[in-house]
Structure 1
């Protein structure tokens, strides 16, 4: 690729892709015992299929470059298979003069073992000893942006890497790659911790972050963005997974478009049993939801977890372990029997049960028994938001000092959430007390 540095700065419009956390060749622990070779093979290859979809997208949308913000590989000791597959796709991008800028994260740090593969000039890996700047060029060899980045030397990076960035050129469009746990997200390891204020102090137009697997636009103008991972790897990583296409115009105005890339989509669907009278009703509602997934216009292979919740006459049936096992096996066997090698599938990963028996709340409300006291106190709290708040503060006081639980509670502390917690607690206590009385 011919590169010519221009004199003076005259900004041009350009387009690039931001992706992160590819986790190529992820082992998908717990999902490799599915009794279908076609399904297990497809799941195991899903990260590679998503990578190929990203490359095809870059070519189709005529982007000038791609930034990859860490954890390209799933393990520090990268599998040879993953490295060769990645190299193959990167070489394809070179045929279209698409540059690629890459940092290493905690899963694929620099000190991990790797094959001695040759990488062409359009592929740029940032070092770990310092922040480096590499210009991005358009197809005419004209400079369009400055790309900054720093990799992880080892897995456990606990220092704030933003302190190593020194970006002062406000005339250029500056993009910075960083694999970081921003603002102490409790759901991820606290590697390279940073604060939003750290990022906003630097003359960066677009912070291309990685590490957090849920996509989020943390800030706009300047942009601070997590694209999430390109392929969900369990029921904890639900829904669409992919990358952002970013369009920048001559005024530095920045527009983001999310594009899903996942080869397999994970779904968690909750089913209320309150209106279900018998096993046929249960089967009907499962069949209905499966039909909706099978007719989805995107037609992507799907793995779904169903959770039954609420109270009703099917509670005791669902809580008999053998019934759930037989129900799951029947649906899974049907999927395998109807599967062809090139066929879309919906695989039920599991049935989870979180139900309670039918309880007539009004039946106990006026009772002088302690169940009546419990219900009357609960009703009073539901009618008085101030008292509910005070009650919540007292009940959860000890948990608020916990590092992860405290942050989780603060994030979810709304009047609606407090009401939901109280209703769920009431339902659980009623169930436990009535079960104790029966026994």
Structure 2
């Protein structure tokens, strides 16, 4: 066997609409965000050319919608042609966002671009420039958006001595954070003679298993504040002994951050301003020439609680920093845009001042402390309090999955904070 290198990427979501971010009062910023999926994909192609890989595997959701935009298809074809100039082959499956039955333009695809069908998990051999066989690539596409059954039984491995790569767009082990399309189990994957499972669908990168490798590269471009941190692809290097090494490369053109600021040690407006600017500086140092979008969440107890809970003050803070960003926006379109300022603070209330008083607040604190020290009673209390949510069709599964001791204690603490805050505010 010969050594080779390839890139594994998934969930490109080309031409994603970025709903909620197109109202920013700057054509430069909105254009940068709107173009970010295309920019990230060009960076992927640049990486493949620079690293001289033999092939690229794309594990589904190339486009954002089944009725894929003509612009996205033309741009994707353009990048495929660019890879062809360097004899880099491409292997592609379609996922739930871009299934086979979606509307497609009648475009001509070059011979080095291989699309797997939805009928069965076909095998396509991949060769180097001298005609030497490097690996067998297997894959299967989605026929329609909603694939409810496992596709693993459709994989029939021909040669167990070959280095086998399988492309699959799947929700592995029923991850509750994602739609349960083409559900699969790790134990079923391990039964097949596959050396590398190139997965897609889950947007957070993770190496689920090594030897055989089961890998999610995540998406190449974060699309909202729910997709934080760097996004990109894996460069995979396989040597003559089938030893497999992965290196992650960030590709995202715009990165999302969530910065939390605890106000417990902040005394005045100057210290609040300094804390925000420190957060912005940390992002700018990390990002270099990349653009970023950040959400600040203020939390904890402190004297600035009342200032931050005046809506006009929050609006003025947000307006001031974002106007400053617009003023200094440079030609390279590097910026840090504050998406929002979220307030989750409490007044600086001392629990001890109520504990020795005959006061309903002291009763509340004592009940809370008693529950936190008795997990059986806390579990019973939680079951009663959450019973209606647990029976809810959609919310129920999330509540049941989160029903750990740690989570119950966190909810109890948050409930105590909120109750104290509301009751103290009511007494004023």
* Alignment TM-score > 0.5, same fold: yes
| CA distance 1:41–1:343, shift in 2 (3 Å) | closer
**Of 46, 54, 57, the match for 1:64:** 54
- Indicate yes or no: 2:121 matched with 1:131: yes
Measure how far apart 1:37 and its partner are: 1.0
Question: Take 2:423 and 2:236, find their aligned partners in 1: how far apart are those partners?
Answer: 56
**TM-score of the pair, normalised by structure 1:** 0.92
Partner of 1:254: 244
Q: Which residue of 2 aligns with 1:279?
A: 269
2:159 equivalent to 1:176: no
Distance 1:404 1:67 in 2: 34
Partner of 1:422: 412
Q: Which runs of 5+ in 1 are unaligned?
A: 1-10
Question: Which residue of structure 1 lines up, in the alignment, with residue 134 of structure 2?
Answer: 144
> What residue in structure 1 maps to residue 330 of structure 2?
340
Of 333, 341, 359 in structure 2, the residue corresponding to residue 351 of structure 1 is: 341
SS of residue matched to 1:12: coil
Match among 296, 316, 320 for residue 286 of structure 2: 296
Any conservation in 1 of the 2:32–2:333 contact (CA below 8 Å)?
no
Unpaired segments of 5 or more residues in structure 2?
A: none
Partner of 1:274, secondary structure, is helix
Shift in Å at residue 75 of structure 1? 1.3
Matched ranges for 1:26-425 at <5 A: 26-167=16-157, 169-296=159-286, 298-384=288-374, 388=378, 391-392=381-382, 395-396=385-386, 399=389, 405=395, 408-409=398-399, 412=402, 415-425=405-415
Q: What is the alpha-carbon distance in structure 2 between the residues aligned to residue 148 and residue 356 of structure 1?
A: 55
For residues 165 and 367 of structure 1, the distance between their equivalents in structure 2, rounded to whole angstroms, comes to 70
1:3 matched to which residue of 2? none
**Distance between the aligned counterparts of 1:204 and 1:401, measured in 2?**
41
Cα distance in 2 for residues equivalent to 1:125 and 1:402? 41
Q: Contact 1:186/1:404 (CA < 8 Å) preserved in 2?
A: no
Give the ranges of 4+ consecutive aligned residues of structure 1 lying more than 3 Å apart after TM superposition: 380-419
Contact kept in structure 2, 1:168 and 1:203, CA below 8 Å: no
Stretch deviating more after TM superposition (416-425 or 378-387): 378-387
> Following TM superposition, by how much is the alpha carbon of 1:80 offset from its aligned partner in structure 2, in angstroms?
1.5
- Give the superposed CA RMSD: 2.0
Aligned residues: 428
Contact 2:29-2:333 at 8 Å conserved across structures: no
The Cα shift of 1:114 comes to 1.7
Q: CA deviation at 1:68?
A: 0.3
TM-score (norm 2): 0.94
> What is the deviation of 1:249?
1.8
Q: Partners in 1 of 2:333 and 2:16 — Cα distance?
A: 23
CA contact (8 A) 2:5 2:55 kept: yes
* C-alpha distance in 1 between matches for 2:31 and 2:386: 46
Measure how far apart 1:396 and its partner are.
4.3
The answer as to whether partners of 2:28 and 2:333 remain within 8 angstroms in 1 is no
Shift of 1:146: 0.7
Partners of 1:67 and 1:404 lie apart in 2 by 34
What is the 5 A alignment of 1:5-24? 11-24=1-14
Alpha-carbon deviation of 1:93? Answer: 0.9
State which drifts further: 181-190 or 333-342: 181-190
Deviation readout 1:160-204 (Å, 9 max, x if unpaired): 211211225321111111111122222222221222222222211
Q: Is the alpha carbon distance of 1:255 and 1:389 closer, same or farther for their aligned partners in structure 2, counting shifts above 3 Å?
A: farther
- Deviations 1:329-379 (CA, angstroms, capped at 9, x unpaired): 111111001112224211111111111222111111223323212212323
